[in-house]
Amino acid sequence: MVFYTLPDVVVNMQTNEGRSTFLKLKLTLELPDEHVVEDLDPNMPRLQDMFQTFLRELRPEDLQGSQGSYQLRMEILRRVNLVIAPQKANAVLIEEMLIN
């Protein structure tokens, strides 16, 4: 098993009030072996685009509580695995999540 920390992701989230709310995520992927890392690097622009597109549509209330964090991890894992297929990540670990 190998851990791969992605570059920090910062996005401006949707809000009902129209004020700027930013989300900063530090994510680490749990990978089965080093070979998957070799496929991650050339796909980093696709991964960054996927993060920006997906996370910008979230609202702060979508991330509340443990259920919000769980759903975020599962959705990111699903999307990462689509980008790096046929390789596969085992899990997404949230090392830091700040909403401001």
pLDDT tens digits, residue range 5-63?
Answer: 999 999 998 777 777 899 999 999 999 999 999 888 899 999 999 999 999 998 888 89
The pLDDT, as a whole number, for residue 89 is: 96
Instruction: Give the β-pairing of 21-31 and 91-99.
Output: antiparallel
17 in a structural domain: no
In order of 1, 40, 56, 70, 85, the CA distances from 37 in angstroms are: 11, 5, 26, 24, 12
Q: Whole-angstrom Cα distance, residue 61 to residue 50?
A: 21
Query: Could you say which DSSP state residue 16 is in?
Result: S
The pLDDT, as a whole number, for residue 75 is: 96
Tell me what the mean pLDDT of segment 85-89 comes to: 94
pLDDT digits (tens, 9 = 90+) for 73-85: 999 999 999 999 9
The pLDDT, as a whole number, for residue 39 is: 85
The pLDDT, as a whole number, for residue 6 is: 95
15 in a structural domain: no
80 in a structural domain: yes
30 in a structural domain: no
Structural domain count of the chain: 1
31 in a structural domain: no
The pLDDT, as a whole number, for residue 15 is: 77
The dihedrals phi and psi of 2, each to the nearest 5 degrees, come to: -130, 140
19 in a structural domain: no
86 in a structural domain: yes
99 in a structural domain: yes
Which domain range does residue 74 map to? 46-100
